[in-house]
């Protein structure tokens, strides 16, 4: 626990607040026997999910789950419980999320471990860990991952509170910074809601379906909708 406090403390102390979540992901790689990590936050609907990552593969893994609306992190959010997939190449883990598992394996990912952030009743997001080889987390790492997730959730909430209370120039909100990275999905969802008279979940489902059929991620499809390159019809 002292090592956890030291590593996360160093991550928070370095640089601007809007870079801290990505540093926390990198700190997880230093603390645990994993290849990479990402943080996903949910504002209560699928259309409001944001993330940070330790590396490009972790980012693409989060994007894949966001596009599909399926995967370990989506299950962890829904169940408010850890979801551990030790081998995405075979068995139950592959069958549980067949499309996501195929995309993950194509990225070189063999195992994913998702832990909810927040209370036992409501998850505000997930800490997602991946490894480039199959196999479960060790008992030591699994026991350590839970306080890591709790500490990260506390650090993120504290940072957001401090940022909201600070008017100093250059003190950007980490949540606002992440929101700007994925605002195209929100805009495109709103456009489809108005144009096709859809509910938010239906509009997002249309975006995801088109992304899956076109072999793209949902963020790129949303950019095409916002720019006028792509139009949806009833």
The answer to whether residues 44 and 137 belong to one domain is yes
Residue 104 lies inside a defined structural domain of this protein: yes
The answer to whether residues 73 and 42 belong to one domain is yes
CATH number at residue 192: 1.10.10
Exposure string over 89-106, b if 16+ CB within 10 A, otherwise e? eeeebbebbeebbebbee
pLDDT tens-digit map of 24-70: 888 889 889 999 999 988 765 454 566 788 999 998 898 888 888 88
The answer to whether residues 119 and 218 belong to one domain is no
The answer to whether residues 159 and 186 belong to one domain is no
pLDDT tens-digit map of 151-169: 888 777 776 666 556 554 4
Residue 106 lies inside a defined structural domain of this protein: yes
pTM given for the model: 0.75
Residue 171 lies inside a defined structural domain of this protein: no
Number of folded domains in the chain?
Answer: 2
Q: What is the mean pLDDT of the chain?
A: 81
Domain containing 217 equals: 182-227
Residue 155 lies inside a defined structural domain of this protein: yes
Res 155: pLDDT: 75
Q: How far apart are CA 112 and CA 87, in angstroms?
A: 8
Q: How many helices (H) and strands (E) does the chain have?
A: 11, 5
Q: Sorting pLDDT into bands at 50, 70 and 90, what band is 171?
A: very low
Query: What is the mean pLDDT of the segment spanning 182-190?
Result: 76
The answer to whether residues 156 and 186 belong to one domain is no
The answer to whether residues 33 and 64 belong to one domain is yes
The answer to whether residues 115 and 189 belong to one domain is no
Q: Sorting pLDDT into bands at 50, 70 and 90, what band is 178?
A: low
The answer to whether residues 103 and 67 belong to one domain is yes
The answer to whether residues 147 and 214 belong to one domain is no
The SS3 call for residue 113 is: strand
Res 170: pLDDT: 40
The answer to whether residues 35 and 95 belong to one domain is yes
Res 27: pLDDT: 86
Query: What is the mean pLDDT of the segment spanning 210-225?
Result: 82
More confident residue, 121 or 27: 27
Percent of the chain, pLDDT > 70?
A: 79
Residue 191 lies inside a defined structural domain of this protein: yes
The answer to whether residues 52 and 156 belong to one domain is yes
């Amino acid at each position: 626990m002292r090592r956890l406090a030291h590593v996360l403390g160093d991550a928070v102390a370095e640089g601007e607040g809007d870079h801290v979540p990505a540093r926390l992901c990198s700190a997880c790689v230093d603390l645990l026997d994993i290849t990479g990590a990402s943080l996903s936050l949910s504002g209560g609907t699928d259309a409001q999910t944001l993330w940070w990552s330790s590396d490009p593969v972790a980012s693409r893994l989060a994007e894949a789950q966001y596009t599909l609306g399926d995967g370990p992190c989506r299950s962890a959010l829904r169940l408010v419980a850890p979801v551990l997939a030790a081998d995405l190449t075979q068995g139950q883990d592959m069958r549980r999320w067949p499309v996501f598992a195929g995309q993950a394996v194509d990225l070189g990912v063999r195992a994913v471990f998702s832990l909810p952030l927040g209370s036992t009743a409501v998850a505000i997001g997930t800490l997602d860990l991946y490894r480039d080889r199959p196999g479960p987390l060790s008992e030591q790492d699994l026991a350590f991952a839970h306080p890591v997730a709790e500490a990260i959730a506390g650090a993120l909430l504290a940072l957001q509170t401090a940022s909201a209370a600070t008017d100093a120039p250059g003190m950007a909100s980490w949540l606002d910074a992440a929101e700007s990275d994925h605002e195209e999905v929100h805009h495109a969802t709103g456009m489809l809601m108005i144009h096709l008279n859809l509910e938010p979940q239906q509009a997002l489902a249309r975006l995801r379906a088109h992304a899956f059929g076109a072999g793209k991620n949902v963020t790129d499809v949303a950019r095409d909708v916002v720019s006028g390159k792509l139009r949806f019809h009833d």
